Amino acid sequence: MTTIAPTVATLIMVTRFPQPGRTKTRLIPTLGAAGAAELQRCMTELLVARLRGVCDRASLALEVHFADGSLAQMHDWLGDRVTLKPQSAGHLGERLHSAFLQRFREREQPILMVGSDCPDLDEGHITQSLTALNHHDVVLGPAHDGGYYLIGLKQAQPHLFENISWGQSCVLAETIAIAAAQGLSVALLEPLRDIDRPEDLRLWQAYSGDSNSIPQVRL
């Protein structure tokens, strides 16, 4: 009889159902609504496959929290090998905090949360984050645009998601400042680049090694 190891932490990936016009909106002028949605689909599938392997090896529970689309559409898209949960209502900070709070109520263990638009995110970043949480209250993965691609917590910290200028280049700095004001210790991972703007598309092309992996640019 095979014994399944208990999970030691939860990894949540936040994404959107690839509905044209509702995702990667800053790329729509370059790729068009359908092209931006297709890029969202490709990046999400890549990271889900990678993180599923990471979670299997590290005994982590993997959840995908989604906006837009229905649970049935998400199951049709990503299958049943990951736990799928709709995001709560509210602005981004409220949705992130709600996801953390819900999971902490279910199980007291570290939680890591990542987005779906950072293709350089790998197993090393996940293991480094879990190690950092042994000695720090918060771990953050800085993004080159001033946000963060990963946040990890050992317990709910609602203040980290309040009064943040979401979508702006000061998100990381504001989060660190709030953590300091709350007396929380913060560990930082290496900076990585999200794919959010037209100038970021070269990263996806370089990563995939295929110019055809970028949807047709609108001229």
pLDDT of residue 6: 64
Q: Does residue 4 lie in a domain region?
A: no
User: How distant is the alpha carbon of residue 38 from its chain centre?
Assistant: 18
206 pLDDT above the threshold of 80: no
The predicted-structure confidence for 41-58, as pLDDT tens digits, reads as follows 999 999 999 999 999 998
Q: Does residue 172 lie in a domain region?
A: yes
Q: Does residue 219 lie in a domain region?
A: no
Q: pLDDT-based confidence at 8, cuts 50/70/90? A: confident
Q: Burial code of 41-77, b = ≥16 C-beta within 10 A, e = fewer?
A: bbbbebbbeebbebbeebebbbbbbbbbbeeeebeeb
Alpha-carbon torsion (207, 209, 213, 218), positive or negative: positive
The predicted-structure confidence for 78-137, as pLDDT tens digits, reads as follows 998 889 999 998 899 999 999 999 999 988 789 999 999 999 999 999 999 999 999 999
Q: pLDDT-based confidence at 7, cuts 50/70/90? A: low
**Within 21-122, where are the H helices?**
28-58, 71-78, 92-106
* CA–CA gap between residue 142 and residue 161 (Å, rounded): 16
Domain span at 151: 9-213
From its phi and psi, is residue 124 left (phi > 0), alpha (psi between -120 and 50) or beta? alpha
Q: Does residue 1 lie in a domain region?
A: no
Q: Does residue 176 lie in a domain region?
A: yes
Higher pLDDT, 52 or 205: 52
Q: Does residue 198 lie in a domain region?
A: yes
pTM of the model: 0.90
Q: Does residue 199 lie in a domain region?
A: yes
Q: Does residue 119 lie in a domain region?
A: yes
What is the average per-residue pLDDT within 32-48? 94
Q: Specify the number of domains making up the chain.
A: 1
- The tally of CA atoms less than 13 A away on the side-chain side of residue 19 is 11
* Domain harbouring 102, CATH code: 3.90.550.10
